[in-house]
Structure 1
Amino acid sequence: MPKTVIAALQIGTSPDGSAATVENILKYEPEILETGCKLTPEGQRRIPQVLEAGGDIPGPEVDSLCKLARRVKTFIVVGVVERGGSTLYCTALFISDQGEVVAKHRKVLPTASERLIWGRGDGSTLPLVKTPAGLAGAAICWENYMPLLRYAMYAKGIQIWCAPTVDERDIWQTSMKHISYEGRTFLVSACQYQPPPTEEMCAALGLPEGKPIIRGGSVIYSPMGEALAGPVYDREALLKAEIDLDDIIRARYDMDVVGHYARPDIFQLVVDEKPKNSMDCQ
């Protein structure tokens, strides 16, 4: 099977807003083009303080990313704050190498204080998307700790697991290694890097000087839980790795958790993929 390249772009979200963040992404266009990346997940996520901080789909920022994908012929998976009516969602967009938004995934359960800001997604946005590098899906941050969601994605046949996050802890690497090994899938986790705050901000908030707000930790794992690139900390970075989907077939020879290593006669999972609305007209 032909080999392709996947990549993770580790940057931070600009305090100047989503337009400035997109500009930062666009600065990496030459590197993306030179790598020939077929899949570029990008881990930017932010907690908006007001509804106006959210973005519309389509919208100017998304349009810029679509143009980037088309110019460099790269399939992009990118985290955004999506505005839907008067509600915000933590969303991963799938943008094809033709520059079209082909799917989205809304985080099904915001984590902790995120629930003060974001609404809940439903089972209608759990897509697997065909990309030039393989079948890709996304689990956002702590969704990766939901065993039933993981199993649902395995059962769909995921080949490239995208895990955008802001979790910089060492235990996150353990989880990513486990998921890639459990699902026998390639895994790309892009984490934000937010540089150290200014001296004035440190003094005002009582923060230690010189320590990044979020240190990163973006990584790419093989279907056997081996690190192919990263993790990278304390700087912006574009990680890349060449992959061969036949490695998934080889890895599942001795364990396929939805195939020969499953017991559907004992255990069953039902996934409701219908969209949930506040009013159901009969």
Structure 2
Amino acid sequence: MMKSICKVAVVQDSSVPFDAQATTDKTCQLIAQSASEGAELVVFPEAFLGTYPKGLSFDAPIGTRLPEGREDFMRYFEGAVEIDGKELQQIKESAAEHNVFVVLGVIERDGSTLYCSIAFIDPTLGLVSKRRKLMPTGAERLVWGFGDGSTLNVIKNELGNIGGVICWENYMPAIRSAMYAQGVEIYCAPTADDRDTWLSSMQHIAMEGRCYVLSACQYITRGEYGEDYRSILTDNPDDVVMRGASVIVGPLGEVIAGPVLNQKTILYAELDRATLIKSKLDFDPVGHYSRPDVFSLHVDVQEKKPVHY
């Protein structure tokens, strides 16, 4: 159950592409900055630690893969992090030092496969959960593996019930219902979608789930990726690759902070538990406004392993 009032932060900034250690150091600085403004929870964008490779094709036309694309993948793989690696350990220490709950988009390396994940870091307990993206979008499926239902949990915390849904997973009604049924109160949506239409989706989810929605997207320019980045989008270092549009929305669809475009910033808001309760007077998607006699959802939460011994 959410505490009466909590202050949250949504980071709109850039990774240091392909440099996990530099991004880790920057993440810790942003945690400290958020904490200095009183934030108790901070949300980072999708793939913040490990790089969102926007514009890379990995030279993979249908029917063939070119050697240059394999070199790009090697670089991307080396810039990812292990969930129990030194980078996450440093971030856990920063969260503990500043007493901040951290929701961080990471590219997770597990064996020889990469996953787009969220690390949930409690300042006292450390890494309390991770979410692997169930459905990578489009060409993301070439470089990211698929998550399973075992990471679809909502974290019960003194700040509130915290859940995470990544980018276009937010367009999947079933995954949203799975979050609502677990009583999500702080719905985190790390994303790489900076389009105008994203705001309406975040407002709809907030109203549908009667929850607070915190969406974080990077602001990053082409130049930050480096001269040797083989993007198909642009070679102009001043061009914006992701423009932000991060936002915080209340449970009746009201925009509390943002969206902010074309700058690096941190959005702040105070979340009031009473507002959550009041919002459910006339709508509760998994309570008095549901029809379980007509509709039901089955969620398989078992971890799926390819080999069983």
- Which TM-score tier does this pair reach, normalised by the shorter chain? over 0.9
Cα deviations by residue, 1:48-78 (Å, 9 ceiling, x for unpaired): 7223232112111101110110011000010
The aligned residue for residue 237 of structure 1 is 265
Q: Work out the CA distance in 1 between the residues paired with 2:303 and 2:274.
A: 35
The residue aligned with 1:147 is: 173
Q: How far, CA to CA, are the matches of 1:268 and 1:143 in structure 2?
A: 20
1:28 aligns with 2:30: yes
d(CA) in 2 for partners of 1:83 and 1:209? 29
Q: Counterparts of 2:26 and 2:264 in 1: how far apart (Å)?
A: 10
- C-alpha separation in 2, matches of 1:21 and 1:12: 9
Is 1:222 aligned to residue 224 of structure 2?
Answer: no
**TM-superposition CA deviations, 1:23-62 (whole Å, max 9, x none):** 2222224422222212111014124722323211211110
C-alpha contact (below 8 Å) 2:18/2:78 kept by paired residues: no
Classify the secondary structure of the residue corresponding to 2:139: helix
Residue pair 2:131, 2:164 contacting (<8 A) in 1 also: yes
Query: Mapping of 1:160-199 within 5 angstroms?
Result: 160-197=186-223
Cα deviation, residue 22, structure 1: 1.5
**What is the root-mean-square deviation of aligned Cα atoms in Å?**
2.2
> Given that residues 221 and 237 in structure 2 are in contact (C-alpha distance below 8 angstroms), is that contact kept between their aligned partners in structure 1?
no
CA distance in 1 between partners of 2:213 and 2:31 (Å): 22
Between the aligned partners of 1:102 and 1:8, the Cα distance in structure 2 is: 20
Gapped runs of 5+ residues in structure 2?
Answer: 54-71
What secondary structure sits across from 1:279 in the alignment?
A: coil
Deviations 1:203-222 (A, max 9, x none): x9655674311100111110
Alignment of 1:70-89 (within 5 A): 70-89=96-115
Picking from 57, 65, 71, the partner of 2:83 is 57
Greater CA deviation, 38-47 or 158-167?
38-47
Q: In the TM superposition, what is the alpha-carbon distance from 1:156 to its structure 2 partner?
A: 0.9
Code of the residue aligned with 2:303 in structure 1: it is P
Q: Aligned partners of 1:234, 1:196: CA distance in 2, in Å?
A: 13
Choose 122-131 or 42-51, whichever is displaced more: 42-51
Query: Partner of 2:7 in structure 1?
Result: 5
Cα distance, 1:29–1:139 mapped onto 2, change above 3 Å? closer
Post-superposition shift, 1:83? 1.1
Q: Aligned partners of 1:208, 1:224: CA distance in 2, in Å?
A: 41
Deviation at 1:132, TM superposition (A): 3.1
Is the CA contact (8 Å cut-off) linking 1:12 and 1:44 kept in structure 2?
A: no
Once the 2 structures are TM-superposed, how far is the Cα of residue 154 of structure 1 from its aligned partner? 0.5
Aligned mate of 1:247, from 259, 272, 275: 275
Q: Does the 8 Å CA contact 2:32/2:94 hold for their aligned counterparts?
A: no
Structure 1's unaligned 5+ residue stretches are none
Taking the aligned partners of 1:40 and 1:123, their CA distance within structure 2 comes to: 25
**Partner secondary structure for residue 255 of structure 1:** coil
Task: Give the number of equivalent residue pairs.
Answer: 281
In the aligned structure 1, how far is the partner of 2:106 from the partner of 2:227? 29
State TM-score, norm by structure 2: 0.85
TM-score by length of structure 1 reads: 0.93
2:68 matched residue in structure 1: none
Instruction: Look up the equivalent residue of 1:170 and give its one-letter code.
Output: D
Is the partner of 1:149 in helix, strand or coil? helix
Residue aligned with 1:144, SS: helix
Most deviating of 263-272 and 81-90: 81-90
The answer as to 2:301 corresponding to 1:277 is no
Give the counterpart letter for 2:6 in structure 1. T
- Measured in 1, the distance between the counterparts of 2:242 and 2:19 equals 17
* Greater mean deviation of Cα atoms: 129-138 or 40-49: 40-49
CA distance in 2, matches of 1:252, 1:158: 13
CA offsets 1:219-278 (integer angstroms, 9 cap, x no match): 111001111111111111111100111211100110001111000000010000000111
Q: CA separation of 1:86/1:245 partners in 2, compared to 1, >3 Å: closer, same or farther?
A: same
Task: State the Cα deviation string for residues 98-142 of structure 1 (Å, max 9, x = none).
Answer: 260010000011110011111100000011112332000000011
Cα distance in 2, alignment partners of residues 29 and 262 from structure 1: 39
1:117-136 alignment to 2 at 5 Å?
Answer: 117-136=143-162
